[in-house]
Amino acid sequence: MPTYNTVYRTLEHLADHEAKIVREHGKDPTTHGDICFDNLQHNIRQRDVRLGRETIVNIGIAATYYEIPDVDLKAFDIEDKRRRLQEGKRKDLTVEQLLGFVDDKHRETVGMLQWLRVLTNYVPALQPYKEHISMLYRTRGAKQQLPICATTIHPLATCQKNETIITELKDAIVDFLDQTGQTSEEHHKRLILFHGDGLSYNVLLSLKQYLQFQDNEFERCEIIEPVLAMWHTAWTNLSRIFETHWGELSRCDPSTLSYLLQFSL
């Protein structure tokens, strides 16, 4: 049975080895990776309450670095982004153009498959068609499907910073970038996507605005491209649907979700 110190040193060596892998991958000019981060809270409850001991909450930020294989690095070129911004095409963008980007035929196909999957999952007489519906998802419902492979992820070292405070967020971002081999003196001139929830996305945008007059693209956080995580977008949309169509429990309105809930209990 190994001692506590032996196990602790082994974990330290494993962490150092993982950090070396992340740094080498981040510094390699032929590879690319993105970062997903979020705030975290750890409630430290004092079981033996006495004078000078109280329950506290540790606040910090955690991040994960994941490799993006087989990607065209030109898509993350900062110079190309600057050139496109200088063209000023954003002022000519219209709602009709945005709606034109939506593939309505594909959206309708996926919507029909969603209902068919619900029917085959919950109607016993239709369960023999489940395999065929799954096949339609992989063929007719698939669009620009990526190769099926496991994403290589690397947890980064956490930091005891508060993302709601701009100065502490800047320290956390610099720390995460340093773990991936990017520093103010030596960094790739290409974008690194930082994925986060709504709060993380907003504070990153504010940080970039405050630092826009700094010396280089690293100090300006220009190499950072904030991205609103898709799961948070879907969650927000789902919350909006419930808030709009929930209704009141005291009303017998069959068009509300609260009325339909009575039949599912």
Give the tens place of pLDDT for each residue, 226-247: 999 888 888 888 888 888 888 8
Residue 67 lies in a domain: yes
> Do residue 153 and residue 76 come from a single domain?
yes
Distance CA 47, CA 229 (A): 37
If DSSP codes are grouped into helix, strand and coil, which group holds residue 237? helix
Closest CA to 223 of 263, 166, 184: 184
Lowest-confidence segment of 153-162, 165-174, 197-206, 245-254 by average pLDDT: 245-254
> Do residue 67 and residue 167 come from a single domain?
yes
Q: Structure pTM?
A: 0.80
What total of structural domains would you count in the chain?
A: 2
Q: How does residue 168 score in pLDDT terms, banded at 50, 70 and 90? A: very high
Q: What is the pLDDT of residue 76?
A: 93
> Do residue 9 and residue 106 come from a single domain?
no
Q: What is the pLDDT of residue 235?
A: 84
Inform me whether the pLDDT recorded for 255 exceeds 90. Answer: no
Q: What is the pLDDT of residue 207?
A: 93
Residue 255 lies in a domain: no
Q: What is the pLDDT of residue 45?
A: 83
Residue 250 lies in a domain: no
Residue 163 lies in a domain: yes
DSSP 249: T
- Tell me how far the alpha carbon of residue 159 is from its chain's centroid: 18
> Do residue 74 and residue 203 come from a single domain?
yes
Residue 17 lies in a domain: yes
Q: What is the pLDDT of residue 263?
A: 67
Q: What is the pLDDT of residue 49?
A: 74
> Do residue 105 and residue 221 come from a single domain?
no
Inform me whether the pLDDT recorded for 90 exceeds 70. Answer: yes
> Do residue 66 and residue 171 come from a single domain?
yes
Inform me whether the pLDDT recorded for 135 exceeds 70. Answer: yes
Residue 215 lies in a domain: yes
Q: Which residues make Cβ contacts (< 8 Å) with residue 115, sequence separation at least 6?
A: none
> Do residue 51 and residue 94 come from a single domain?
no
Q: What is the pLDDT of residue 41?
A: 87
Mean pLDDT score of the chain, rounded to an integer?
A: 89
Residue 174 lies in a domain: yes
Residue 251 lies in a domain: no
> Do residue 60 and residue 154 come from a single domain?
yes
If DSSP codes are grouped into helix, strand and coil, which group holds residue 44? strand
Of all helices (H) and strands (E), which one includes residue 136? helix 130-138
Higher pLDDT residue, 68 or 257?
Answer: 68
> Do residue 125 and residue 29 come from a single domain?
no
First-to-last CA distance in the chain? 52
Share of the chain above pLDDT 90, in %: 58
The predicted-structure confidence for 20-55, as pLDDT tens digits, reads as follows: 999 999 999 999 999 999 988 888 888 777 777 888
Range of the domain at 73: 4-84+149-228
Mean pLDDT of 92-113: 93
Q: What is the pLDDT of residue 249?
A: 66
Distance CA 20, CA 33 (A): 15
